[in-house]
Amino acid sequence: MEKNNQLILALDVTEKNKALDVAEKVYEYVDAVKIGYPLVLKTGIGIIEDISSRVPVIADFKVADIPNTNRLICEQVFNSGADAVIVHGFTGRDSLDACVATANEYNRQVFVVADMSHPGATEFFQQVSEKIAKMSLDTGVSGVVAPATRTNSVENIRKIIGNELAIISPGVGAQGGSASDVINKGADWVITGRSIYQSDSPDTEAKKVVQEIKNRN
């Protein structure tokens, strides 16, 4: 994934035509499209191939199982054409290693969830977030997921991982996070879904985010 516009679209629509229509409108503004369970469970895994022919696809399946099952899941994800997969780290190093080994076989990428953007993340996730960030170093992953809704967490995770790993950051727009703030705190890409795909003009909204990032102080 090339770092141009620093925007990743979260395409959580559930109709294939809507997905293709929104993606078509925003291709020029996004560096990747993130596809997760809502769209794949409704339309089938083939949607990943459809979109990945135009733009890199990050498969957000938050893979969180034993190593063998993680490997089997990642094989299917990469066979579908995805360029990267998002996995959980709390399952431990062996489970993460299985995802990375599979990604290496396919020459694809892994992102690990280091902290989450919703309010409930403070109940359990935050207590292990630093440990997951530390563990992610030297594993061969490309980066971590950290929340635009709590930029102090992004700043902290950036200190832990240094410049070795990228940070992709969801929570901009509908969840209240600011694109320019989280990029300033150390994120490489922001992830935005609803504020773009629910808009009457997804391209205008995507362009706004890109300009906000480019024109930030």
Binding residues for substrate: 12, 34, 60-69, 117, 170-180, 193-194
The nearer residue to ligand NUP, 34 or 217, going by C-beta atoms, is: 34
Cβ nearer to ligand NUP, comparing 7 with 160: 7
What is the footprint of ligand NUP within residues 115-174 (CB under 6 A)? 116-117, 145, 147, 170-171, 173-174
* Selected range binding ligand NUP among 73-81, 127-135, 188-196, 203-211, rule: CB under 6 A: 188-196
* 100 DSSP 8-state letter: H
| Least distance between ligand NUP and beta carbon 121 (Å) | 7
Q: Nearest 5°: CA angle at 187, between 183 and 189?
A: 90
Mask: binding to ligand NUP, 50-69, rule CB under 6 A, as x and -?
----------x---------
Q: Which whole-number Å values give the CA distances from 203 to 24, 44, 61, 207, in the listed order?
A: 9, 25, 26, 6
Q: Kindly state the smallest distance separating residue 102's Cβ from ligand NUP, in Å.
A: 20
Active site residue 65: yes
**Choosing from 65, 97, 181, 203, which is the catalytic residue?**
65
Helices (H), ranges, the chain: 16-26, 37-43, 46-52, 67-79, 93-106, 125-136, 151-161, 179-184, 194-197, 202-214
Structure tokens at 119: 């309010």
Burial 109-122 (b: 16+ CB within 10 A, else e): bbbbbbbbbeeebe
**Contact stretch for ligand NUP (CB under 6 A) within 44-52, 109-117, 131-139, 151-159:** 109-117
CA separation for the pair 69, 52 (Å, rounded): 24
Report the distance separating Cα 92 and Cα 70, nearest Å: 12
Min. distance of Cβ 195 from ligand NUP in angstroms? 6
CB of 194 to ligand NUP, least distance (A): 3
Does 62 qualify as catalytic in the annotation?
Answer: yes
Catalytic residue among 25, 31, 60, 188: 60
* Binding residues for ligand NUP (CB under 6 A): 10, 12, 36, 60, 86, 113, 116-117, 145, 147, 170-171, 173-175, 191-194
